[in-house]
Chains A and B, each alone.
Chain A
Amino acid sequence: MPTLLGEVKFRSASFYTIIASIALLGGVEAITHNPFYLGVFTLISIYGVLALSWDVLSGLTGYLNFGLAFPFGAGGYTAAILSTRFATPPTIAIIVGGLGAVGFGLLTGATSLRLRGHFFIMVTLLIPLATADFLNYALTEDGSIFGVNALVNNTYYIYNASLLIFAVAAVTFFAVANSRLGLVLKSIRENEVAAESLGINTSKFKMVAFALSNLFAGMIGAVYVFSNGVASPTDFGLLFSALPVFMCALGGMGTIVGPIIGSILLEGSIDLLRINYIQDARLLIAALLLLLVLLFFPKGIWGYVKRGG
């Protein structure tokens, strides 16, 4: 059986950028102890993981998953329930949250991955919306909002957890992209029919990418819930599905660096623009930034840079 990991190009720009971004995020912790800034960079890491998770499936295979909020929210709720009802320690809850997201994802992926193109987009978009609707219906008795134990609320723990998951995700996806698995996934994007005719079991590989994507999205969803101290149906909301897609489009789809750039730019502008006189307009400015970049850099910023422009 050929191994999935082939040769990894250690000297590529992508690899250095990953190291640099991990160092940058780690360095922030050394420079400032201010919880607000740590919170901003935690959010950047969280969205970075989401964007990377999106990219490993959608950027490589071309199956645009518009429902990343589903594993994100599923992981978050799993961790919240474990933490409040079963007094699970946070680290274990995060890991089990990720596995839970994979499990739920198997249900949705098995069916939705059979679809192509616009239909895949539609189905994945609807699944988290339907879940949020269902949660609002089913859980109001108990309160579909789970307040998570405040003692977990340690900024450093959250920051380190998100940084660690970010690092592992970036390295994992880099390895995947440069491996035989990555090659198969890219071939699915180029021409799935041709790939199948060569005897490749595309369904299996799509599920692997999907599971990998869900694992990290679920784990970071758990971290998100712990960082906020609450799990609510908004965790399945459109923003968590749409923002990672936009970050990858802005940064450059199908790359490792793209999602990282995208999350830094978008999430950074949303949170760092809390300045007097323009703080009410910060979402508008972020949206304008997104529009302008997409307009003038259709392949994303990293896509533009790679072209040698």
Chain B
Amino acid sequence: MVLATPISFLVLGATLGVIYVLLSEGFSLLYGVAGVLNGAYGALYMVTDYTVFALLTRFGLAAPLSILLALVFVALIAGFVQKYIAGRGKTTLEALFLTLAFAFVLQYLVQFVQCSSAFPAYCQYPAYVPVFIQGSASILGVSVFNQYLMADAVSVGVLVAVWVTLTRTRLGRSIRAVSQDTVAAALVGINPARVVVVTSMLAAVMAGTSSVFLASYQTVDPTIGWSVLTLAFAIVVVGGLGSLVGTVIAAFMFAFIDTYVLLYINPLLADFVSLLLLIVVLLVRPQGIFGKEAS
């Protein structure tokens, strides 16, 4: 039986789309614009949740402060990784492997602290992020969590902020310069390495923000980062590397297709269809919707 209406499809798809944008914006900035494939993106997403949980429960800090500190913390980790691990003259491939290895280290470290024979007491207190904006609103008769609506608003805000940064500020111009031609950028006095480090910190903050909003209604687990990484990568590739507009459009594409399959076809096939779509796009038009021809 199909219990879905076009309205519910549109509302749910749109809400999910904006959330997907939030999830992938950071990755898009880093990969598409700065050319850096950061395999630890998902791990940083995961670490934000655990940090918020630790600050809230073990140190008793208030929610907004915990979130802020957690975002600062992951930004620092991202900066450290970019500067000392993935930067310093490593090729894209080497950086990818190093960040992936680092992601595994983070995952197993969190796993070890969360529950192991060394810390048996913590096993009984699994991490969670509390809902900080309660309740649901009714959009055109469809219930949407207030926190997701807030996530949507934040996502739009972040998008605007990113666009403004990229077009109006010096940092943004530096980032674009570095993405176009690292050597030329260095010639005009931009320090590419530093720009990339700052970009990765921005990307981490974006990942962390999306994580905090979504994790309240989901479960926190050391492995949640990987599906985020795959999704972000997929969206950025389909949208086209280097194109933030492409990312937004691709995010909505995936969201609506996912929602359609979930509501009208078979929930068990939703992941499979998304992956199939991605494979098809990669085979037919690898540079994505808005990307330039791959060199």
Distance between Cα atoms of A130 and B275 in the complex (Å)? 6
Among A214-265, those with CB < 8 Å from B are 238, 242, 245-246, 249
Closest A residue to B101 by beta carbon equals A291
- Which residue among A112, A246, A279, A295 has the maximum number of chain B CB atoms within 10 Å of its CB? A295
Decide: A122 and B272 in contact? CB cutoff 8 A: no
Contact-size category for A? 35 or more
Say yes or no: A133 contacts B116, CB within 8 Å.
no
Contact residues of A between 254 and 309, Cβ < 8 Å to B = 277, 279-281, 283-284, 287-288, 290-291, 294-295, 298
* Binding-face segment, A113-121, A166-174, A182-190: A113-121
Whether the Cβ atoms of A280 and B118 lie closer than 8 Å is yes
Residues of A within 8 A of B (CB): 64, 111-112, 114-119, 122-123, 125-127, 129-130, 133-134, 136-137, 238, 242, 245-246, 249, 277, 279-281, 283-284, 287-288, 290-291, 294-295, 298
With an 8 A cutoff between CB atoms, is B268 at the interface?
yes
The interface stretch among B102-110, B183-191, B195-203 is: B102-110
B282 CB within 8 Å of chain A: yes
Is B63 on the interface with A (CB-CB < 8 A)?
no
Q: Are A122 and B117 in contact (CB under 8 A)?
A: no
Q: Is the CB of B279 within 8 A of A123?
A: yes
Interface residues of B (CB under 8 A from A): 37, 85, 90, 93-94, 97-98, 100-102, 104-105, 107-109, 111-112, 116-118, 226, 230, 233-234, 237, 266, 268-269, 271-272, 275-276, 278-279, 282-283, 286, 294
Q: Which residue of B lies closest to A282 (CB)?
A: B108
Across-interface contacts of B105 in A (CB, < 8 A): 284, 287-288, 291
Which of A133, A249, A291, A294 has a CB less than 8 Å from the CB of B272? Answer: A133
- Cβ-neighbour of A118 out of B37, B100, B234 (below 8 A): B37
Interface centre among B37, B102, B116, B279 (most CB of A within 10 A): B279
Cβ-defined contact, B112 with A123, below 8 A: no
B272 with A130: CB separation less than 8 A = yes
The SS class assigned to the A binding surface is helix
Asked if B112 contacts A287 (CB within 8 A), the reply is no
Q: Which of B37, B104, B112 contacts A280 (CB 8 A)?
A: B112
Distance in Å from the Cβ of B125 to the closest Cβ of chain A?
Answer: 17
- Knowing A119-B294, A122-B233, say if A114 contacts B109 (CB, 8 Å): no
Please determine whether B97 and A294 come into contact, CB atoms closer than 8 angstroms. Answer: yes
- Asked whether A133 lies within 8 Å of B278 as measured between CB atoms, the reply is no
B271 to chain A: closest residue by CB = A133
The listed residue (B97, B271, B283) touching A249 by CB distance below 8 A is: B97
Which B residues lie within 8 Å of A291 (CB)?
85, 98, 101-102, 104-105
Is A280's CB under 8 angstroms from B237's CB? no
Q: Which residues of B contact A137 (CB under 8 A)?
A: 266, 268-269, 272
A66 to chain B, nearest CB (A): 10
B272 near A246 with CB under 8 A, answer no
Known: A111-B283, A119-B286, A280-B112. A130 touches B101 (CB 8 A): no
27 A-B residue contacts at CB 8 Å? A111-B283, A114-B283, A115-B286, A119-B294, A122-B278, A122-B282, A123-B282, A123-B283, A130-B272, A134-B272, A137-B272, A245-B97, A246-B100, A277-B118, A280-B112, A280-B116, A281-B116, A284-B111, A287-B101, A287-B104, A287-B107, A287-B108, A294-B94, A294-B97, A294-B98, A294-B101, A298-B94
